[in-house]
Amino acid sequence: MKALRLHTPALAERSPLQSDKVPVPRPGPGQARIKVSVCGVCHTDLHIVEGEIHPPGLPLTPGHQVVGLIDALGRGVKGRKTGQRVGVPWLYSACGTCEFCQRGEENLCPNAKFTGFHVNGGYAQYMLADARYVLPLPPALSDEQAAPLLCAGIVGYRSLRKAEIQPGEHVGLFGFGGSAHLCIQVLRHWGCRVSVFTRDFSHQDHARELGAAWAGTAGQNPGRPLDRAVIFAPAGGLVVRALELLRPGGTVAINAIHMSDIPSFPYQSIYGERTLRSVANATYRDGQEFLALAVEAGIEATVNLYPLDEANLALQDLKASRFNGEAVLRIGA
């Protein structure tokens, strides 16, 4: 089979992913083999490919927003069948026994494994998944529409919940790529007023099309304080700016696996019982909840399709903000 693999991290412009011929993997106990249809391209893939975060082993097949059909099952799998259409999200597996797993916070499990990071992901014709953690997909979602939901959507949804957003509040979104363009649709569904901060004019237009009440750069001011803010762009300076625009008692949540250092800021910016928190990964339950919500709210991802062989181009275009929404690799029939 074909797999687009990372052998040595390098800048995306240098096309670090290589098209390799590798054996089709055989599912071990508890695993499902997925015949991949499409795979979304996440900003985390860019961080991995460029060496900003370091997977435990190379070569590696990235990709953790995978949609496909189960075509083989290993021993001992319960509740899954061949032919079933599923999504494989970022959380590949968790230990199930540590204190975090016991609390239903398996996103924080120190033994968690992540798809396309600890194990090979979906930039390939086939991949293996832990059968317990794949998400059955609602029939209402096409393959292309489902892929961006599996990380951009699910982790974005967790960020909205961790930001403690209440219906009708004024919410600021900093950065407007794959995740934020899905989150704004959830926020509009909840009756929130949304202000979007991005320096990219095409992303500002996209935000207005999707119902933003205001769109501008982070240096500008939407004219009224934010109740909540979610930061998607991995730039530490935005944290300070979001706190400046936040009302007392409000919350800033950071949806980023990697971010530049946060500059020091005056205590006054966080005083007034403002909350600052990060968001790490997502639980299986987040996935189930968000997929149901996506159907209920009629969320439509803006999708840019690329063939598997153009995965490097997709990453380059993502890095340069050359499209709105999300890139999705088309792999199988």
95 is an interface residue for Zn ion by CB under 5 A = yes
Site for Zn ion in 145-174 (CB under 5 A): 151
Closer to Zn ion by Cβ: residue 37 or 107: 107
Closer to Zn ion by Cβ: residue 114 or 214: 114
Q: Choose the stretch contacting Zn ion; rule: CB under 5 A; options: 8-16, 52-60, 72-80, 93-101.
A: 93-101
Q: In the block, which residue shows the tokens 């995306």?
A: 12
CA distance 83 to 26: 16
Closer to Zn ion by Cβ: residue 204 or 304: 304
182 is an interface residue for Zn ion by CB under 5 A = no
Q: Are 32 and 23 in contact (CB under 8 A)?
A: no
Q: Are 128 and 278 in contact (CB under 8 A)?
A: no
246 is an interface residue for Zn ion by CB under 5 A = no
Which phi and psi angles does 258 have, rounded to 5°? -150, 140
Binder to Zn ion among 70, 101, 218, 291 (CB under 5 A)?
101
Considering CB under 5 A, how many residues would be counted as binding Zn ion?
8
Q: Choose the stretch contacting Zn ion; rule: CB under 5 A; options: 104-112, 205-213, 222-230, 295-303.
A: 104-112
Q: Is the CA virtual torsion 210, 212, 213, 219 positive or negative?
A: negative
Closer to Zn ion by Cβ: residue 44 or 283: 44
Closer to Zn ion by Cβ: residue 101 or 246: 101
Tokens of 165: 């957003």
109 is an interface residue for Zn ion by CB under 5 A = yes
Closer to Zn ion by Cβ: residue 226 or 235: 235
The 35-64 site mask, x for binding Zn ion (CB under 5 A), equals -------x-x--------------------
Binder to Zn ion among 69, 98, 262, 270 (CB under 5 A)?
98
Task: Using CB under 5 A, list all residues that contact Zn ion.
Answer: 42, 44, 94-95, 98, 101, 109, 151
